[in-house]
Structure 1
């Protein structure tokens, strides 16, 4: 969900005047110089699901907009454009940024993670718990995408909506009723180009830029399949109509059902792709905006590392509130230290530094890791941390980089004696002893293997593999941090999610209960699939081959994640850790906003890409409204 800070090449899509759309490769000196020291109405840092659509919307509204992207353009590369290649895309060094994160402050626990990664003495990776002599510990891989379109270019494309409470929390914190859940749906309608429902179906959009599609689930009509037997048992265990499962698995996951957040229900998983399996992402919207014959005033700079936001004193001599008025950038390929090519001998380690200027506002959209880093490098963040790195304090804002949140993820993975068959089962349900009315588990089951991230993921266990991957929605602990490791903008920050630090026992119990329910459903597969040889969380073939305590312990050390949010969160005015107000404005300064997943007060549902795109559309509406009123 980022795209803020560098990677490889592209060329101008077409020539134009000063306000015509164009894309500039940061390595082309003439083109770069033409935008250095230039002034735009808005500068957006990061082209992912937050920043990319926002820049397009601002340009389409007639405002000259510079979009700064740290990566290149991989939009025509089949590894990225074909959504089915997402695992390959996630491993591709042409876009991959390797963040080596921690799950806790306990080094022993960290190295119990099965895919903990080391750098060996010959420069290769070792993944596992028994590293060779001399290997340097790196951490747990958390790849982000450094390319035009951000992480929407390497993800699995899953589209789901947050619970109503995830929108309404902003209303409760700030009093801004525009965030009410029933009002937020208009942004889905605005951005969506639905391909799987009859035109004009209520609650959906059909003329937006983001295509959504589903896969046929005809297999669920075949009662001879082991997968269908498993499906029916899942229905029984979650209180659904067993005789109607073939229809239930085609339910619209983006539908606006009464009491939808409390329902145990199957769905057909929607993805941001067209009917032909082509990925639909901000990359497409950016290029469509650049190519439009209306010559919208959008300029895109690739291979451009945003190093800090620039400030001037406010024109109001009474308040002296700092005013964001530009961005310092460094031009070149693979400048950021998380880029695996950064250490290559043929890569320039530092590029030329220049400045670009904003008449109206600077919008940071680097994602949950890079947005707090950019703010801190710019002097906006906890004063003690900035002082430690000799960064002049522009605004002491203690919440920057705090309250980092993520869903917990785990997986029930086993090998059958024969393939289970069928297709993907998507199920949202409430674990048996979860508190509150809302469901808390999103699971998708099928013949695949996904166990988190490490160099070269995933492991292919062959045709007999079967998995239910689980996302724990709205975990109780939100105690992660993004802290500077250096004042050098090329050095990635220190990231610690502090998994299970608060109420961890409760969350682990919910995950274990979900795994137990799914494991029970698997037994319905029958012969010749059974017995399943479980890989994790309870290895072996016996029904009771690990205790609840064992299962919780294994889930604690092996949980993973890839939905980071909330490190620059919206919050109440009297909250000392609030970074943004409800209009995405950074508190205590003028002309600066953050628009990406870091703005959410908590992780928005199971998968944040679609909520972040909706958030971007809301931000565009707010910014354009303020511009027309002259109240930035």
Structure 2
């Protein structure tokens, strides 16, 4: 029986679950950009697949449906999971402006002067607990990593399947490009499942403050030397197979996984697979929290443990990160089995948690919580890295409406450009519960560091309770001296004078330098260290070399030292894949699909 639980209530779900098969060829845990399309692809190849997710189908939710509703989507209790992290030392984190606390009445307080009795939660780090994963609440930004990032993985693993040319083939297979004439560019795909678009930039043909501002930026970055108009420059394709793609500095308009403003996501592909008249053998089980992987030969001598299934709890909002979570709701315990493989795709925080709860991870940590060790893998939950984000933010006297991006290379870049900016009428200055929408006079240029030097973050168990959230420490600025901070200051200093060139429209800076501070480089470094934010963490179950004791996965996503278990999501990346990992994660999901087929 094919079961899709989108519209089933919990009573009906429990009844229907009794009729489900007890085993499938593949079990995929997590439906984001890594796991969701992989499950659909395996089913379309004729393999029986059970796709499990702790959330549900929010296809009709307007917040998730439209790309530019991503702030309401982040705030939506129907889709969000609330994680709280530490970033730096306790002393520095204590000054973070948007520190979140839990008040005695259960409500959040955000700020540095909490009411008596409030419990400090930390820095808000929203994730999505719904079919489609974080692709359902992100800004849908879509950029391939630099070719050098793929080459780094080849160098780490010795596996040529990660070559630039091969990874481009995976991208072509999944893409349905909407901004280039069908078939006109062989480096793009036109028949895949993921719609890709580029934001309209016709505004560049008319006079406005936004056009003037973008022109200043473009010319300062060498746009005049190209002999092209602002409109032509904004239309550059950042995902083309262009030898200069990773080197040019200049303005662009954003690319997104969408069509006509409507989000394209794993959910679309999953639903299409289920609705197809060919009746692919895909079962989707929602409201299901996987508690551990089941093994045979877990403690046998001279035999690697073999993943044979998963144990789970079934029920709505069972995970503590869900804002609707009720501790007294225990869920219904169950097990299901895989005849071929179990594939974990829970994301950078949940995949290492599931592995550790299953007995795979640093043995000392597992023993601390009384978890029997199946395989000592000290790298599980380490190697976490993230794109630092900072902003130059304030207000114009008169609204400047619209947006553009640009790339910049600082003097501290290790190779190629090192910053990507997003500029526009917005107020994205960090994350906190209930973060507001945009007010009309606000404007910012935010930056993302393309290749931060720090790889010091960790995801550790808080307890052996699978419903509990892990302890997450991002370990900001622990490596690379002050180079990352200095590069961000350089980028902001480049932007600041360009904001002051509009005629009869004054910009008032609010951060990092309000009018009442002396805006030195040292002051900005100290400010940024305390206030930078992030939301693109990767690497907690990283691929690594055969002789690397910290490697969790091999180059085919297989968990080392056990059989029939893979991890396919952003946690697998051994390097930061550019500014935004969404497209890279879609691509590795496609690669994993090919790796699995090759092993059958």
For 1:453, which of 431, 447, 453 is the aligned residue?
431
SS of the equivalent of 1:325 reads strand
SS of the equivalent of 1:471 reads strand
**Contact kept in structure 2, 1:26 and 1:32, CA below 8 Å:** no
**Size of the alignment, in residue pairs?**
594
1:468 matched to 2:440? The reply is no
Residue aligning to 2:495 = 518
**Contact kept in structure 2, 1:26 and 1:304, CA below 8 Å:** no
For 1:196, which of 154, 161, 179 is the aligned residue?
179
**Contact kept in structure 2, 1:477 and 1:504, CA below 8 Å:** no
Residue aligning to 2:508 = 533
Using the TM superposition, give the Cα deviation of residue 226 of structure 1 relative to its aligned residue in structure 2, in angstroms. 2.1
- Of 92-101 and 256-265, more deviation after overlay is shown by 256-265
Residue aligning to 1:6 = none
How far apart, CA to CA, are the structure 1 residues paired with 2:97 and 2:66? 30
**Contact kept in structure 2, 1:376 and 1:400, CA below 8 Å:** yes
Residue aligning to 1:374 = 354
**Contact kept in structure 2, 1:21 and 1:290, CA below 8 Å:** no
Structure 2: 5+ residue runs without aligned partners?
A: none
1:494 matched to 2:471? The reply is yes
For 2:542, which of 551, 564, 569 is the aligned residue?
569
How far apart, CA to CA, are the structure 1 residues paired with 2:91 and 2:171? 44
For 2:220, which of 234, 237, 259 is the aligned residue?
237
String of CA shifts for 1:316-344, please: whole Å, max 9, x gaps.
x873100000000100001001111113x
1:599 matched to 2:572? The reply is yes
Using the TM superposition, give the Cα deviation of residue 437 of structure 1 relative to its aligned residue in structure 2, in angstroms. 3.2
Using the TM superposition, give the Cα deviation of residue 420 of structure 1 relative to its aligned residue in structure 2, in angstroms. 2.5
For 1:391, which of 371, 378, 384 is the aligned residue?
371
Residue aligning to 1:407 = 387
How far apart, CA to CA, are the structure 2 residues paired with 1:608 and 1:203? 20
1:173 matched to 2:150? The reply is no
**Contact kept in structure 2, 1:420 and 1:529, CA below 8 Å:** no
For 2:238, which of 253, 266, 278 is the aligned residue?
253
**Contact kept in structure 2, 1:253 and 1:268, CA below 8 Å:** no
**Contact kept in structure 1, 2:239 and 2:245, CA below 8 Å:** no
For 2:563, which of 576, 582, 590 is the aligned residue?
590
How far apart, CA to CA, are the structure 2 residues paired with 1:437 and 1:488? 43
**Contact kept in structure 1, 2:25 and 2:340, CA below 8 Å:** yes
**Contact kept in structure 1, 2:35 and 2:589, CA below 8 Å:** yes
For 1:61, which of 45, 50, 69 is the aligned residue?
45
How far apart, CA to CA, are the structure 2 residues paired with 1:248 and 1:318? 63
How far apart, CA to CA, are the structure 2 residues paired with 1:494 and 1:90? 21
How far apart, CA to CA, are the structure 2 residues paired with 1:325 and 1:370? 20
Change beyond 3 A, Cα 1:429–1:221: same
String of CA shifts for 1:102-127, please: whole Å, max 9, x gaps.
102x3231121111001112221111
Change beyond 3 A, Cα 1:506–1:150: same
How far apart, CA to CA, are the structure 1 residues paired with 2:431 and 2:371? 34
1:220 matched to 2:196? The reply is no
For 1:89, which of 53, 73, 76 is the aligned residue?
73
Give TM-score, length-normalised by structure 2. Answer: 0.96
How far apart, CA to CA, are the structure 2 residues paired with 1:184 and 1:21? 33
SS of the equivalent of 1:53 reads helix
SS of the equivalent of 2:366 reads helix
SS of the equivalent of 1:85 reads helix
For 1:209, which of 190, 193, 203 is the aligned residue?
193
